[in-house]
Structure 1
C-alpha cells in the first residue's frame, strides 16, 4: 500500500515545495538535482 508523505500545492510558476519528510528521506539540499521518472502510471522522484 502507498504511504502519503505530504501534500504540496502547485504555484503559478508550476513549482512545488518538497515536504520535509520527503527531503529527509531523499537527503536533498538546495541546489541538488532530482529526476522525475514515469513508471506504470506513477511519477517517481529520485535524487540525481
Structure 2
C-alpha cells in the first residue's frame, strides 16, 4: 500500500528558533491564541498536535 503525504504548508525557522504555523494548519488543528501545542516523535518524524491539557 502506497502512503501519500500532503504538504499543508512551509515555514522558515527564525534566528530565535521560531516558526509561524500556516493559517490553514492552524484552522485544521482549530488553534487559537494561547493554545498549547505538543511535539511528538513517532517513527523518526515529529508530529505537531493541539494539547488538550490546560496549563
- In the superposition, the TM-score normalised over structure 2's length comes to 0.84
Q: CA RMSD in A?
A: 0.5
Q: Please identify runs of 4+ aligned residues in structure 1 that moved more than 6 A.
A: none
Which stretches in structure 2 are left out of the alignment for 5+ residues? Answer: none
Q: Relative contact order (alpha carbons < 8 A, sep ≥ 6): 1 or 2 greater? A: 1
Please list, as runs of the form range in 1=range in 2, the aligned pairs for 1:1-40 lying within 5 A after superposition. 1-40=4-43
Structure 1: give runs of 5+ residues left out of the alignment: none
Larger Rg: 2
In 2, the alpha carbon distance for the partners of 1:3 and 1:16 equals 19
